[in-house]
Chain A
Amino acid sequence: MAAETIPPAAAPADERVREKSTLSKVLSRPEVGALAGVVIVWVLFAIVASRHNFISWATTASILNRAAPLGILAVAVALLMIAGEFDLSVGSIIGFSGMVIMVLVTPTTGGGFGWTLWPAVGISLLFALTTGLFNGAIVIATKLPSFIVTLGTLFAFRGVSIAVTRLLTDRTQLGQLDIVAGYGLAQKIFASNLNLFGSQFNVAILWWFVLTALATWVLLRTRAGNWIFGTGGAVDAARNVGVPTRRVKIALFMTTAFAAWLVAVIQVVQFTGADTLRGTGQEFQAIIAAVVGGCLLTGGYGSAIGASLGALIFALVQQGIVITGVEGDWFQVFIGGILLGAVIFNNFIRTRAALR
């Protein structure tokens, strides 16, 4: 090759670059902060609540059961945040998807359509994906910050669910899903319990783990993952080298909608009914979990495993407070403190380890 005619730049081993230690390599992983958080919070409650049987399979099961739905949401929200966008409307999409199912299966005498369960589940998925597509399309078309756009759709979707449900059924809560045809299978897939070590683990935990693994694989080992990081890291540069940044964003808005739908189905089947207010506030919890898990608010950095660990911290605190008998009012103080602490910690790690 002609390249050999000039000796390569004498490969100067730059004396200003220190060998990166294995420790700082580990510390530069985005999920490290959240992992440390899980350990700290768990140890804290293990000590404080030792009299209340915190270290037990029963407690572990109830923590994981709480973490699972939030984890499912947080993983999808994390992917979107890595691509540089927010979705505040996921909470509404949970309520919306659940109500679509319940309105469709409610007997005609009750103002519904009297369908069996599975077609209703399918149609609600279509509706949910459409809401995601809608969010994405508006963000792309208007170039507005997705924070504002989805703040708008957060209210709009919730309003539609309440208004239409009340219009058709005169109610805001619908129940008795367990007498609808198809419930038995749905119950097995979405809401059954696994009896391990004498404790009841929800099957939702499996869904959560599988989605986390899948999202991690996509992020780190597929083209789409590279595109997600690129889109969030520097959208113009990514577009310049041929990344379909719009398609990436729309697909991810649809992914968060899908996650919200899955959570809705799990809850509807579990509680054999739906409430128009279901999912309220979940959008913030999911974003908190993603941020605690190492996602940058500015995009381009983060991890699915981290977001899952963030959800786990959330559930640990929730359950820990219940078990220790601390007034539940303190829960939000705890979560707020952990969020701030995590962001400061993550910033510290990133400037110290990653960019060194």
Chain B
Amino acid sequence: MSTNGTALLDVREISKYFGSVIALKDVSMTCEAGQVTCLLGDNGAGKSTLIKTLSGVYRPDEGEYLFDGRPREFASPRDALELGIATVYQDLAMIPLLSIWRNFFLGSEPTKGWGPFRRYDVRFAKDTTRQELAKMGIDIRDPEQPVGTLSGGERQSVAIARAVYFGAKVLILDEPTAALGVKQAGVVLRYIVQARQRGVGVIFITHNPHHAYPVGDHHVILRRGRVYGDYSKEELGLDRLVQMMAGGEELENLAHELERAAGKASGEAGDDLARAAEALEREAKDPGA
């Protein structure tokens, strides 16, 4: 691992239980300023539990949570936010009917004037929104346009720009590319890199290794609530990452299962299954082929 002891966010051997279910067991990971930590895992690997723990929604049952080198305990996501740990959730980021600039400053509106004449500094808000989005390379045509008219990728991007503007030191992105098309996902990945270059530590949750690999400085792979691997970009090729994500031996098992199913099935359907099984086996043994 590329840790030099000054990680901005550092969790050590964190465990979280829900009744008899072990959601997380001895999970350790770090995130440094100006670096992207990718958090990968299949459904049910514990990604959601981990980010909710990192963002202050859950409190870990065991383990240590260090931020800026000091142990922390959060009573609510607000505590985490105040330290600069901002989380952008996939669907809960924006208010569709509200304009971009109103969304950008919602909850932290700049004001001018005093007493009963204190009012929303509209010009400042519009100008700042435009500037901040431009800094992230987001070209908005009209800050008055409702967020609902933006594409999914643009919406995520505005949410990221907002978190950065309001002083996020660590930005947790919950599957920001999951619901997006190829081009849109590329847009979001670009903003992740932008945020990193502005010195923000990014924790990027995804189950798509093709999205993670190009932007990630190191990759934490979760499986069944445990850390399956934690690799820097150098020690890991995209092929390895794809294979680990897919779970090599699981694919092989699946291949055998399909073969057996093909044995039972007859005729063309059986042949199709057999071919699918062969392909899976090849993939499992020789990824990237």
Q: B-contacting residues of A (Cβ < 8 Å)?
A: 1-3, 5-9, 11-14, 17, 20, 217, 221-223, 225-227, 229-230, 233-234, 236-238, 240-243, 296, 300-301, 354-356
Contact = CB atoms under 8 A, between A and B. Distances in A.
B111 A223 contact: yes
Given A230-B95, A236-B92, A243 B197 contact: no
A233 B93 CA distance: 12
B95 to A, nearest CB: 4
A278 to B, nearest CB: 32
A3 B106 contact: no
Interface residues of B, number: 41
Nearest to A244: B107
B120 A226 contact: yes
Given A2-B198, A3-B198, 4 more contacts: A234-B95, A240-B92, A242-B107, A296-B97
Contact of A13 (B111, B139, B190): B139
A238 B102 CA distance: 11
B105 interface: yes
B89 A240 contact: yes
Nearest to A229: B98
Given A6-B194, A229-B102, A356 B149 contact: yes
A3 B135 contact: yes
Contact of A233 (B81, B96, B108, B122): B96
Interface stretch (B62-70, B140-148, B262-270): B140-148
A2 B42 CA distance: 34
- Most chain A CB atoms below 10 A, which of B98, B138, B149: B98
Contact of A12 (B94, B139, B145): B139
A221 B119 contact: yes
A217 B95 CA distance: 21
Instruction: Please report whether the interface of chain A is mostly helix, strand, loop or mixed according to DSSP.
Output: loop
A355 B149 contact: yes
Given A221-B122, A355-B148, A3 B95 contact: no
A226 B111 CA distance: 12
B120 A242 contact: no
Interface string B186-199: 01001001100111
B135 A230 contact: no
A11 B149 contact: no
B78 A226 contact: no
B149 A237 contact: no
Nearest to B103: A230
B106 A238 contact: yes
Contact of A237 (B81, B92, B139): B92
A248 B183 CA distance: 39
B129 to A, nearest CB: 13
A229 B137 contact: no
A3 B194 contact: yes
Contacts of A1: 135, 198
A158 B289 CA distance: 77
B139 A238 contact: no
A6 B102 CA distance: 28
Interface string B31-43: 0000000000000
Contacts of A242: 78, 81, 107-108
